[in-house]
Chains A and B, each alone.
Chain A
Amino acid sequence: MEAAVAAISGHAASFTPALSIAAWLRVTTVLLAVASPLRAGVLPEDRADAMYHSYDGGGVTIDGPSYLIRKGDNKNFSVSANYYVDSISSASIDVVTQGSPYNEQRTQWSGSVDYLHADTSMSASYSYSDETDYTADSYGLSISQSMFGDLTTVTLGYSRGDDDISSSVDPDFEDTADHQNFHISLSQVLTKKLLLSLNYDAITDEGYLQNPYRNLRVLNDPNDPSAGYNFNTPERYPNTRTSNAVSANFLYHLPFRAAVKAGYRYYTDDWDIDAHTAEVGYIHPLWGKWMFEVNYRYYTQTNADFYGDLFARPDQQNFMARDKELSEFEDHTVGFALSYEVLENGWGYFNRATLNLKYSHIWFDYDNFTDVRGNPAVGQEPRYDFDADVIQLFGSVWY
């Protein structure tokens, strides 16, 4: 990344979106700590997964491995460990307009311990994520209780994350951010064929929440748009954020061997972002050894109240951002998955194994984030959009 930064001239605060990604990764980490799929009364299955993942879209390619292994004592305890790598090569629209392409790597280690006692499951987890300018520690605890003849499972979770942020262009810059996540969920058997899962998450962030590399787009002359614009003013975010998200997900077994799923999530936060997510899917086993799945997902959000695509003055308001993830936009995903049962009858130590391929195509369409590549005149900028390919290739063994 240093080489990429050195190639930039003109202003010190060049753009490197690694931190933008990292800033969200630590939230992911916190969430995953809570979101282990606990089922009270049953320990998770002993299994190991080796995955290659790849994302390619908007000038960004990210790929790498993820290894997940879980082993229990078939009685009360189960432990899991995960090693995950993101190898990032970025020439995103922000990088192209404000900096130079760069390569970066993020590595994450995480582990968890599950303990089962009668109808109660408890889980403790830890995760550490590391990259050049961002490290994140996350800790999580959750407890699940099964009741009413195992028809209902209630889960409560809490996790927190502590991040240390630095900058590759400013050796004196150091800051921190803390995150807390409160989680409650209810898994309910509604009928012989229908399952419901309700989830609620409250997340609070405090500290340095912006990207030290990304700049705002500001007019050179507030009274004369024809004088053009510049990217010389750093973003300024509030140092707290609180969000609430609630979702309902249904899974229904059809009269033949297939299932349909449907889900909806509502999200709101005190940055004024409201979002809706809707998802449907269909799962169908084929010819004994194959499993086919197709799904569609729709997402839409409003922009943060301090977001702007173009500001008249560097001091126009207290908080200012030009991050496309805070703009108003929508995205659509169409996904396919294919799974093949390799060891139907087991082999030695292994009970069964599968090979899996998943492919998703995502279309992003921004309403008030414009494409300023080529330096178009004010008022002539087209709205930005791009699409991405997401591939997962993995093998799983149960033992």
Chain B
Amino acid sequence: MKPRASLILSLVLLLSACSNIEPWVKPYERAYLADPIMSFGRDPVSDNYLSHVYQVREGARGAEGGHGGGCGCN
């Protein structure tokens, strides 16, 4: 098999495998994740300010903290 063909086959297999991934944490198992305390950025006005405090006084910048969180349920 030519390298390109094997690459395409691998990608197809990988993508088809992804489409079959079952959520390993079911929607009804997300009570803990839905808790408001499970949020990386609970208060944007405060998170933005504190990031700014450090950026002004440190050489490093970027990749500050985590974002999102929660259960991802509407």
Nearest Cβ in chain B — how far from A16, in angstroms? 15
B6 at the interface (CB under 8 A from A): no
A332 at the interface (CB under 8 A from B): no
Provide the A181-193 mask, 1 if CB < 8 A to any CB of B, else 0: 1010101010111
Q: Are B72 and A394 in contact (CB under 8 A)?
A: no
Q: Please indicate the chain B residues that have their CB under 8 angstroms from the CB of A37 in the complex.
A: 40-41, 44, 47, 67-68
Q: How far does the alpha carbon of A396 sit from the alpha carbon of B47 in the complex, in Å?
A: 14
A347 at the interface (CB under 8 A from B): no
Q: How far does the alpha carbon of A41 sit from the alpha carbon of B70 in the complex, in Å?
A: 12
Q: Are B48 and A32 in contact (CB under 8 A)?
A: yes
Give which listed residue, A150, A259, A279, A285, contacts B23 with CB less than 8 A. Answer: A150
Nearest Cβ in chain B — how far from A104, in angstroms? 13
Q: Please indicate the chain A residues that have their CB under 8 angstroms from the CB of B37 in the complex.
A: 253, 257-259, 283, 285, 291
Q: Are A42 and B74 in contact (CB under 8 A)?
A: yes
Asked, given contacts A25-B56, A42-B72, A187-B69, whether A32 binds B51 with beta carbons under 8 Å apart, the answer is yes
Main secondary structure of the interface of A (DSSP, over half): strand
Q: How far does the alpha carbon of A340 sit from the alpha carbon of B2 in the complex, in Å?
A: 65
Q: How far does the alpha carbon of A189 sit from the alpha carbon of B29 in the complex, in Å?
A: 12
Q: Please indicate the chain A residues that have their CB under 8 angstroms from the CB of B32 in the complex.
A: 192-193, 253
A216 at the interface (CB under 8 A from B): no
Which residue from chain B places its CB closest to the CB of A51 in the assembled complex? B45
Give which listed residue, B23, B35, B43, B48, contacts A396 with CB less than 8 A. Answer: B43
Give which listed residue, A191, A243, A267, A392, contacts B49 with CB less than 8 A. Answer: A392
Q: Are A153 and B72 in contact (CB under 8 A)?
A: yes
Nearest Cβ in chain B — how far from A4, in angstroms? 20
Main secondary structure of the interface of B (DSSP, over half): loop
Q: Please indicate the chain B residues that have their CB under 8 angstroms from the CB of A44 in the complex.
A: 44
A98 at the interface (CB under 8 A from B): no
A360 at the interface (CB under 8 A from B): yes
Q: Are A181 and B70 in contact (CB under 8 A)?
A: no
Q: Are A197 and B46 in contact (CB under 8 A)?
A: no
Which residue from chain A places its CB closest to the CB of B22 in the assembled complex? A149
Q: Please indicate the chain A residues that have their CB under 8 angstroms from the CB of B39 in the complex.
A: 251
Q: Are B30 and A249 in contact (CB under 8 A)?
A: no
Q: Are A394 and B45 in contact (CB under 8 A)?
A: yes
Q: Please indicate the chain B residues that have their CB under 8 angstroms from the CB of A356 in the complex.
A: 43, 46
- Interface set, chain B 43-74, CB cutoff 8 A to A: 43-74
Chain B, interface residues (CB within 8 Å), range: 35 or more
Q: How far does the alpha carbon of A199 sit from the alpha carbon of B65 in the complex, in Å?
A: 8
Nearest Cβ in chain A — how far from B27, in angstroms? 7
Q: Are B49 and A53 in contact (CB under 8 A)?
A: yes
Q: How far does the alpha carbon of A42 sit from the alpha carbon of B68 in the complex, in Å?
A: 10
A103 at the interface (CB under 8 A from B): no
Nearest Cβ in chain A — how far from B10, in angstroms? 20
Q: Are B60 and A49 in contact (CB under 8 A)?
A: no
Q: How far does the alpha carbon of A259 sit from the alpha carbon of B24 in the complex, in Å?
A: 21
Q: Are A38 and B68 in contact (CB under 8 A)?
A: yes
Give which listed residue, A68, A253, A267, A326, contacts B44 with CB less than 8 A. Answer: A68
Nearest Cβ in chain A — how far from B32, in angstroms? 4
B38 at the interface (CB under 8 A from A): yes
Give which listed residue, A35, A68, A153, contacts B45 with CB less than 8 A. Answer: A68
Which residue from chain B places its CB closest to the CB of A44 in the assembled complex? B44
16 contacts between A and B (CB under 8 A): A28-B55, A53-B49, A66-B45, A192-B30, A199-B67, A201-B61, A249-B65, A249-B66, A251-B40, A253-B35, A253-B37, A265-B63, A325-B57, A360-B53, A390-B53, A394-B45
- Give A residues with C-beta under 8 Å from B: 21, 24-25, 27-28, 31-32, 35-42, 44, 49, 51, 53, 55, 66, 68, 82, 146, 148-151, 153, 155, 181, 183, 185, 187, 189, 191-193, 195, 197, 199-203, 243-247, 249, 251, 253, 257-259, 261, 263, 265, 267, 269, 271, 273, 275, 277, 279, 283, 285, 291, 299, 301, 304, 325-326, 331, 356, 358, 360, 364, 390, 392, 394, 396
* Seed contacts A181-B62, A189-B33; 14 additional CB < 8 Å A-B pairs: A35-B64, A42-B72, A42-B74, A49-B45, A187-B68, A195-B38, A195-B69, A197-B66, A199-B64, A245-B61, A247-B64, A249-B65, A259-B37, A301-B58
